[in-house]
Every structure is written in C-alpha cells, then in structure tokens.
A and B are shown apart, each in its own frame.
Chain A
Amino acid sequence: MLNMLSVFSVLRRQFLENNCLNVFLIMRRSKNCSLFSLLRTSLKELVYENTTKRGLWLSASSLVHEDLLLHPGIPSNFCINTRSFSIPAKRFARASNCRGLDHHDFPEFRVLNRFLCSSEAGSGELPRCWNCGGAAVSPGPFLACGLCGSVQPVDQSIDFFQIFGLERKYEIKDGNLEVKYKDWQKKLHPDLVHSKSEKEKMFAAEQSARVIDAYRTLSKPLPRAIYLLKLEGVHVDEEKTITDPDLLAEMMDIREAVEEANDSHALNQIQTQVEEKFEKCSRSFEQVFKMHDFDNAIAAIERMRYYDRALEEITKKL
C-alpha cells in the first residue's frame, strides 16, 4: 500500500539513479494533485543536496519549471541558474519529449500513478491516458495524451465538431479545417507509431480514420447538414422514394439540359444556375435548422442532394 512517504522515496530513488525522465514524469503527473508542492520542494532539496549531479539537474529543473509555469505560486528561486550546467539542454529536452515511456525502466510508476490518482481532487471527470495514467490536462478533445503523447482509443461521444473545436452549427466560416486536420494527423497518424505496441497502432489507425471522417463530413455543406441532423437524432431516410412533382420535373429539365448541352459555355451556364439554387437551399437549411424545423430541413437536404448530383454530372461532362 503506497503512502505519501513512498512517493517521496520513489522520487528520491529515481533522482539518485539519474533517471531524469522519470523524475520529470512524476512531477508532471502530480501536477494536478495535492502532493505537487511537496514533491517540488523535495526535488529542490535533492538538487541542492547532490551537487555532483548539479549539472544534470539544472536542466531538469529548468524544464520542469518551464513545464509547470502554468502552476500558480511557483517560487522564483525554484529554478537554479542554468548557465553553469554541463549537460547540453538539448539532449535532455529530447529525452523528456520522447513519447511512450517504457515501463520496464520504471516499475513503480504504475503504483505511484494509482496513488496519485486517488489523491487528486475533483479530477474524476477527466479522461485518463491508458499509458501513463495522466489526466487530460490541455483543452480540446482527448485524442492523444498531452503528457506521454500516446494515442488514445476512440471515444464515440466526441463528435466531429468537437474534434475541430467548432460550434455545432451549419455555418463554419474561418473554421481552418485543413490546418487543424493536418495538426491532428501530426499527432495521430499510424506512420508515427510503427514502432509502438499493437494496441497503440490500432488506436492510431482508428483515431486518424475518425479524424479523416470528421474532416470529410464537415468540409462539404451537404454531408455537414446531414451530420447535424444526425446529431439531433433525425435520420434522413435515403431509401424512400419521393414523388414531389415540382422538384422532380425541375430536375428532369436540368438533367435533360445537361445532356443536350454540347459546349462548355452552355454547361458553365447551367452550372452557375444550379449552384445558385444549391446556395439558396443551403441558406434555407440554415434557417430552418436554427428553428429546429426538421421536416423542412430534410426537404432542403433532399433538394441539395439533387442539385449536388446534377453538379457532379456537369463536372463529369466538362
């Protein structure tokens, strides 16, 4: 049964064995916990006590300090003067940035982790990393761990809008979807985990597939509209035959015109007309959706789909 003293002894042991990465992890892991300030003091004392290790620990403390800058009340003398350290900071930085800590080097960490879990106040809501047990600390959806970088299993309750940090509505001006999409793939892509465990490879494959799905759904207006309705629990029945004479007669005319058009000029004209109609439907969808008028929303989507199909045919012909 782990207690507070044991945590300190774990920290001390890792420090004396020069396992700076593990020390770094313990400090990071306890960030949300009530033990944190005590552990910090303990680390400071260890650094002062062990002057032979000073060089190594100077860079350790400065990195811990940088990382913990978010923590309020850090004493100004925590960070020792870093100019006299002998170990190049870069080497340490690289070591501490490496993801997926291998637990063979640090068996106590899991036990420590469970202990720290129970002493954390009000963190029951936060999802935890399967690898290091760290709570989700940064804002945004928990797709990859902010502490150890491990890709997390897919959480179906995180919807596509949350993945891209957007409000759940039809209009997505300046969503910067592509930039965010690429950012996510830098963290989740399966190519980045080819040397990791099978479990993590599977998580990476599923997560990045989900992000791709989200990007494709949200970047085009029609799938976005259908997805919005789906989130509201309204299913657009795709198999049902429709007999709306006005819409169908209109579509017949448009499709016939596309068939008969022989030059790109005529096709472009039709294209512009259909695009305008699509836009009008799109705006109408936005209106009725805001008012939760789902019947009309479905009708708008049906029209949009027909126009979309016609536009596809025109594009093919061009």
Chain B
Amino acid sequence: MLSFSGKRLLGLGHRVSAAAVVGRGYHERVVDHYDNPRNVGSFDKNDSSVGTGLVGAPACGDVMKLQIRVDEESGKIVDACFKTFGCGSAIASSSVATEWVKGKKMEEVLSIKNTEIAKHLSLPPVKLHCSMLAEDAIKAAVKDYEAKKAKHLGNAEAAQVEKA
C-alpha cells in the first residue's frame, strides 16, 4: 500500500521501479503521480477564498482532502491542493483532480466525472471507487466554498443593516 505522498517529498519513501510496476499492475500514469506528486499541500482552511472538501471511503479507510482557491470576481479556481491517505490509485485520482480543476470555473468542475478520471489513469474495476472519491471531493470543496461565501455575504449584510 502506498502512503501519503508528502512523505516522498522528504525522500523517505522508496521509489517504485518501472519493472515492479509492470508486475504489480499500476498504470504508468498512476506511478507518475506517485513519483512526481503535484499540488500536495494545504491552504488555510479559514481563508474566505478557500473551499475544503474532506471525504472518506469506509471500505478501505481512505481519507481525502481537496482544497481549492477561488478568485471571487471571476469565479475561477486559481489554485488547488490535496492531501490523501490511501492507496496509489486514490492518491493519483486526487492529484489528477487538482490538476484538472485549475483554471476552470466552479460550475465547470462540477461536471468532472469519476469515469473520466478512471479512464485517464486506466484504473481497474476494483479501484473505481477511488476516482469516485475524487469526484466527491471536488464537489465537497465547491459546496464548502459556496457555503462560506453565503455565510460571508450574510454576515456582511447583517453588518450593513446594523450600521444603517
């Protein structure tokens, strides 16, 4: 089982060689995301322009956190990062998800389907739920941002009403 990819940044994990990959059956794109993790990290949860999606798959005890930074005026996602504890397929799925949401509008990313992610990574049927988890994480992040925005607006309105 592959663990949190952040560990690899510190050079503590061991590399999965290409030969081993062929034997074990991970697609090269999955291995690529594991060897060269992109967008691993964290944003400040309390930042008003950040939406956080935290999802889990009870079957394997995986946890996935996906965060998006949204530009308020354009409604576009300018940055994204993730942190996933789970198998290689789950890590790769969330990594792909962060890559795909960058530069897109929030409505657009809601249409990203898990089947697309699974196809991109050539996930076997037994790992399809990992891509589903990534799709759910995107939706949860967007939902969180919207909720924050609504609350923020609500607070601002209340403040204005009070002033007036």
Residues of A within 8 A of B (CB): 236, 238-245, 247-249, 251-252, 255-256, 259, 301-302, 305-306, 308-310, 313, 316
Contact = CB atoms under 8 A, between A and B. Distances in A.
Contacts, number: 65
B3 A259 contact: yes
Contacts of B85: 251-252, 255
A180 B83 CA distance: 46
Interface string B73-91: 0000000000101000000
For chain B, what secondary structure do more than half of its interface residues adopt (helix, strand, loop), or is it mixed?
Answer: mixed
B61 A309 contact: yes
28 contacts: A236-B58, A239-B57, A241-B55, A241-B56, A241-B57, A241-B133, A242-B57, A243-B56, A243-B140, A245-B54, A248-B55, A248-B56, A251-B61, A251-B63, A251-B85, A255-B63, A259-B3, A259-B4, A259-B6, A259-B7, A305-B59, A305-B61, A306-B56, A306-B58, A306-B61, A308-B61, A313-B3, A316-B1
Contacts of B54: 243, 245, 248-249, 252
Contacts of B65: 252
Contact of A238 (B59, B133, B140): B59
Interface in B82-122: 83, 85
Interface of B: 1, 3-4, 6-7, 54-63, 65, 83, 85, 129, 132-133, 136, 140
Given A243-B55, A252-B65, A305-B61, 13 more contacts: A238-B59, A242-B56, A251-B63, A251-B85, A252-B54, A252-B83, A252-B85, A255-B63, A255-B85, A306-B56, A306-B58, A309-B61, A313-B3
Given A248-B63, A255-B85, A240 B3 contact: no
A229 B65 CA distance: 30
Contacts of B55: 241-243, 248
B99 to A, nearest CB: 21
A238 B56 CA distance: 11
Contacts of B58: 236, 238, 240, 242, 301-302, 305-306
Nearest to A307: B61
Contacts of A305: 58-59, 61
Given A245-B54, A259-B6, A310 B61 contact: yes
A240 B62 CA distance: 12
A306 B55 CA distance: 13
Given A252-B85, A259-B6, A302-B58, A241 B63 contact: no
A169 to B, nearest CB: 23
A309 B60 contact: yes
Nearest to A299: B58
A309 B60 CA distance: 7
Contacts of A245: 54
B78 to A, nearest CB: 24
Contacts of B6: 259
A308 B62 CA distance: 11
Contacts of B60: 309
Contacts of B57: 238-239, 241-242
A303 to B, nearest CB: 9
A180 to B, nearest CB: 30
A252 B63 contact: yes
Nearest to B60: A309
Contacts of A243: 54-56, 136, 140
Contacts of B7: 259
Nearest to B61: A309
A105 to B, nearest CB: 53
A255 B1 CA distance: 14
A302 B55 CA distance: 13
A304 to B, nearest CB: 10
Contact of B56 (A247, A301, A316): A247
A251 B132 contact: no
Nearest to A298: B58
Contacts of A249: 54
Question: Which 8 residue pairs spanning A and B have beta carbons closest together?
Answer: A309-B61, A238-B59, A241-B136, A255-B85, A302-B58, A248-B54, A242-B56, A251-B63
